[in-house]
Every structure is written in structure tokens, then in C-alpha cells.
Copies of this chain bind each other. A is one copy, B any other.
Amino acid sequence: MSVLRVGLLGCGTVGSGVFQILSRNRELLEQRTGLSIQVTRVATKDFDRAREAGVADELLTDDLMNVVEADDVDVVCELMGGLEPARTAILAALKAGKHIVTANKALLAHHAADLFPAAAEAGRELAYEASVGGSIPIIRALKEGYVAENIQGLYGIINGTTNYILSAMADSGRDFSDVLAEAQQLGYAEADPTFDVEGVDAAHKVAILAMLAYGVRFDYRKIPTEGITGISKADIDFAHRFGYRIKLIAIARLQDERLDVRVHPTMIPETSQLAQVHGVFNAVYLEGDNVGPSLLFGRGAGSLPTASAVLSDIVAIGRNGGARRVPDLAYEPRFVRDIEVLPGEEIRSEYYVRVHVLDQPGVLGQITTVLGGHGISIASVLQLDQPTDNKVPLVLVTHTTTEGNLRGALAEIEQLYCTAGPSTFIRILENLS
């Protein structure tokens, strides 16, 4: 049986999971692959945690370079997260002739432009199934399963924290801060939840998916990104009345010669597949020109699900026997092209709009006049007659328009005498199976 020697950088949540799986499913892995996967070195600052995960003392080091440059390591697994020293360590490992497996989506979103060429130059693999969707084999599906597909749109629930929070808000009627506190207690949200709740984590991940689906290079920092902190109980209730659920959806599709890639709370039909994705689960839904609607669903995070994806990459490297058989980014490097990200104000969508108005006659007429003046027509209206302090929410759904138009109209509406306070809008995705 051929031996594949693995060095870990980091032995926290995911690294411990790798040890746990190797310990309990070793025989199964050997029967399936003919490979004996041996962890030969582990770099970590927290020796105690690594020992708890079953790492023998002689494997431990606190110096990344002891793993990166070791003669007894074939594959380096970067499981530290963060930009540095992860980036430097990976580049050094490639230079030392190691294959790389990483779960680090932030790093790939930021540094795809130097990491992947470095891997190509070194003739080594840079694998990252665990970086998006945890246990969901979406990277492999995009590189191999859907290789014949012109992908017409890709829509993901790819952040478990926000999906947990939105699901719990919808199910229990509690508000954001209340549910966030609970999610933190349960370990589903970090002490500093900014990256998750502001959509940054999902933006990192959709940047990777967009590169793979379309063979494009772009500045991930230009991705229009909006988190879920502004979602209220009221919006969730109104969404329900219109037949929608609110989810944090990451979108990637081509619009003419630009990349429409974005992350924001989205109203999707309650009967759609993505609307059934509850709690910390993730799913990626895509439409291909041949396969039509397709969906992959599973756990998007956690020690064992993520470690399982890491192991699938380690195995693939072992099976490839050193060959770089599939391009790292799903397209032959010479065909990868630069593309401009569609700016936020040019996004075309239907919109849910909530305006607080004074409870007096003629208000709807004034507001629809302003919308009409910006070329926006209305699909449906919900006017409620339970005024608080003489104010009522006016809720409407527009037909498709650009976000620039909508923002212009809302700025004008907020100046009307009949308007009491700021307005809110949420994008709608109607055509999901």
C-alpha cells in the first residue's frame, strides 16, 4: 500500500477532525483508495488541544517551516485560516515541492492571483474542496461533474451562521440580536460575528465559485455585499405574506460581458429548494443549459464535515500520483479572462420595499407617482391599517428595475411629507425551482 505523508498547519477545529476521521475510518479509506494516509507533522501553537485530538508528541512543532520544508511530508494541509502567515507558508510549501490542501476561503478570495500561478509553476496541486460549502462536494462538481455546462446562474446559501439566524428568526418570531446571542451560545456564531453576519464570509466563498463557474478573474472586493443585520421580524412576516422566505443568498451569473456577483438578504419563493434549507445547513443551487436546475445540500461547516472534504482532497492528490489532471480553477489558465464586476447600482431585480407613511389619504398615490417617475412599476401592494403613532407600514413589490433607479426613487420618497422615517428594501429572486 502506498503511503501519503501529510503535514498539518493548524490543529484546531478542522485539524482535530482530520485526526478523528483518520482514526475511525482508516481501514475504510485504505479499502477505497489503496493509500495509507499518515500525518507525519503538525504545526500548532496549542499543543494541549492537539494532544487532546490524539496527536502524538513527536509530531508536534510550533514552527510552520518544520512542516512546510520537511522531507517526510508530501501534502501540506493549511488549516489555520486568515491571510498571514497562511499565504507565506503555502508559497514556501509549493516551493519545497509539496501539494497543498486548504480550507481557507478568505485567502483564496484575496490571493488567487498569486497562489494558483505559484502552484502551476511548481507543478503541484492546490486543492480547496473544504473552502466552500464544507462537506458539499461543490468544487469537484463544478470542475468535473458540470464540466459540459454553460452555467446560467449559481445561487448559494453558503454561510451557516446567517442561515441559522434567519431560520430561527422565521421559526420563532424573535429578532436578530436575540437569535444572534443564542447562536453564539451554541457555537454557531463567533464572539465577533462581523464576518458572517455582514456577508463577508459568503462573499469570499462566492468569489471562488464564480471563478470556477465562469473562468474569470476579478477583484473580489468589488462584490456588492450586504449582511443580515438590517433584517427585522416585520420583513420576515411580510415576506411570508407574499409567499417568500428571506435567506442570505450568494449569486454568481454573467450579465452581458460582466459578472453579476453579489451577496445579500434575498426573498425567494417559499416553495423553492433553497427555501427548504434550514438552520446551519448550506446548499448550492445552479442552472446549467443542459442539466437544468441542480442542487447540492449538506453541512457547510463544523469539524468533521470540513475535515471530510479535506480528506477527499488528500485522497485525490494521492490518486492523481503527482499529475495536475484538472486545472486548479476549472479552466485552462490561458483561457481565464479578466472581467468587471457589475456595480451595485446596475443590479436588475424585483424589490420588496417597506416605507413608513402617515395614515392619511392619497399616500399611495404620491409614492407610486415617485416610483413611476423613476420608471418603476408596482407588482403588488400591502397597506396595513394598524397605525402606531399615526404611522403605518406600506409594503410593496416592484417589477424588475435597476438598483440605481430604486435608490433614487426611495431617496425622493423619504423627502415626501407623507413619509415617516427611512425606507427598507430587499431584493427578490423569483425564478428559482
Taking Cβ atoms with an 8 Å cutoff, the residues of A that contact B are 17, 21, 24-25, 28-34, 129, 134-137, 140-141, 144-150, 215, 273, 276, 281, 288-299, 304-305, 307-309, 311-312, 315-316, 319-321, 323, 325-327, 330-332, 335
Shortest Cβ distance from residue A14 to the other chain B in the assembled complex, whole angstroms: 12
Of chain B, the residue at the smallest CB distance from A34 is B332
User: Which of B276, B289, B332 contacts A32 (CB under 8 A)?
Assistant: B332
Instruction: Determine whether the beta carbon of B315 is less than 8 Å from that of A291.
Output: no
Of chain B, the residue at the smallest CB distance from A329 is B32
Instruction: Determine whether the beta carbon of B148 is less than 8 Å from that of A215.
Output: no
Shortest Cβ distance from residue A400 to the other chain B in the assembled complex, whole angstroms: 27
Which residues of the other chain, B, contact A32 by a CB distance below 8 angstroms? 147, 215, 327, 330-332, 335
Majority-rule SS of A interface residues: mixed
A319 with B308: in contact, given A32-B332, A294-B136 (CB under 8 Å)?
A: no
A150 with B34: in contact, given A144-B316, A319-B326, A325-B319 (CB under 8 Å)?
A: no
Instruction: Determine whether the beta carbon of A147 is less than 8 Å from that of B326.
Output: no
Question: How far is it, in angstroms, between the C-alpha of A274 and the C-alpha of B356 when the chains are bound?
Answer: 41
Instruction: Determine whether the beta carbon of B315 is less than 8 Å from that of A28.
Output: no
Shortest Cβ distance from residue A161 to the other chain B in the assembled complex, whole angstroms: 17
Which residues of the other chain, B, contact A34 by a CB distance below 8 angstroms? 327, 332
Instruction: Determine whether the beta carbon of B144 is less than 8 Å from that of A315.
Output: yes
A25 with B150: in contact, given A31-B335, A215-B31, A296-B295 (CB under 8 Å)?
A: yes
Instruction: Determine whether the beta carbon of A308 is less than 8 Å from that of B331.
Output: no
Which residues of the other chain, B, contact A335 by a CB distance below 8 angstroms? 30-32
Instruction: Determine whether the beta carbon of A298 is less than 8 Å from that of B305.
Output: no
A308 with B290: in contact, given A31-B335, A148-B315, A276-B276 (CB under 8 Å)?
A: yes
Which residues of the other chain, B, contact A307 by a CB distance below 8 angstroms? 148, 290
Shortest Cβ distance from residue A278 to the other chain B in the assembled complex, whole angstroms: 9
Instruction: Determine whether the beta carbon of B297 is less than 8 Å from that of A292.
Output: no
Question: How far is it, in angstroms, between the C-alpha of A312 and the C-alpha of B332 when the chains are bound?
Answer: 16
Which residues of the other chain, B, contact A315 by a CB distance below 8 angstroms? 144, 147-148
Instruction: Determine whether the beta carbon of B293 is less than 8 Å from that of A298.
Output: yes
User: Which of B146, B281, B319 contacts A137 (CB under 8 A)?
Assistant: B146
A298 with B308: in contact, given A29-B148, A140-B144, A332-B34 (CB under 8 Å)?
A: no
Which residues of the other chain, B, contact A215 by a CB distance below 8 angstroms? 31-32
A290 with B273: in contact, given A29-B148, A296-B295, A335-B31 (CB under 8 Å)?
A: no
Shortest Cβ distance from residue A143 to the other chain B in the assembled complex, whole angstroms: 8
Question: How far is it, in angstroms, between the C-alpha of A288 and the C-alpha of B32 when the chains are bound?
Answer: 15
Which residues of the other chain, B, contact A281 by a CB distance below 8 angstroms? 293
Question: How far is it, in angstroms, between the C-alpha of A315 and the C-alpha of B335 when the chains are bound?
Answer: 17
Sample (7) of A-B pairs whose CB atoms are under 8 Å apart: A21-B290, A33-B147, A148-B307, A148-B311, A148-B312, A294-B298, A323-B323
Instruction: Determine whether the beta carbon of B135 is less than 8 Å from that of A290.
Output: yes
Instruction: Determine whether the beta carbon of A29 is less than 8 Å from that of B147.
Output: yes
A325 with B321: in contact, given A135-B292, A305-B291 (CB under 8 Å)?
A: yes
Instruction: Determine whether the beta carbon of A298 is less than 8 Å from that of B295.
Output: yes
Question: How far is it, in angstroms, between the C-alpha of A30 and the C-alpha of B311 when the chains are bound?
Answer: 29
Shortest Cβ distance from residue A392 to the other chain B in the assembled complex, whole angstroms: 35
Which residues of the other chain, B, contact A276 by a CB distance below 8 angstroms? 273, 276
Question: How far is it, in angstroms, between the C-alpha of A327 and the C-alpha of B31 when the chains are bound?
Answer: 10
Question: How far is it, in angstroms, between the C-alpha of A309 and the C-alpha of B332 when the chains are bound?
Answer: 21
Of chain B, the residue at the smallest CB distance from A325 is B319
Which residues of the other chain, B, contact A135 by a CB distance below 8 angstroms? 288, 290-292, 294
Shortest Cβ distance from residue A21 to the other chain B in the assembled complex, whole angstroms: 5
Question: How far is it, in angstroms, between the C-alpha of A148 and the C-alpha of B33 when the chains are bound?
Answer: 10
Shortest Cβ distance from residue A20 to the other chain B in the assembled complex, whole angstroms: 8
Instruction: Determine whether the beta carbon of A140 is less than 8 Å from that of B145.
Output: yes
Which residues of the other chain, B, contact A321 by a CB distance below 8 angstroms? 323, 325
Question: How far is it, in angstroms, between the C-alpha of A402 and the C-alpha of B34 when the chains are bound?
Answer: 38
Question: How far is it, in angstroms, between the C-alpha of A135 and the C-alpha of B330 when the chains are bound?
Answer: 19
Which residues of the other chain, B, contact A146 by a CB distance below 8 angstroms? 137, 308, 312
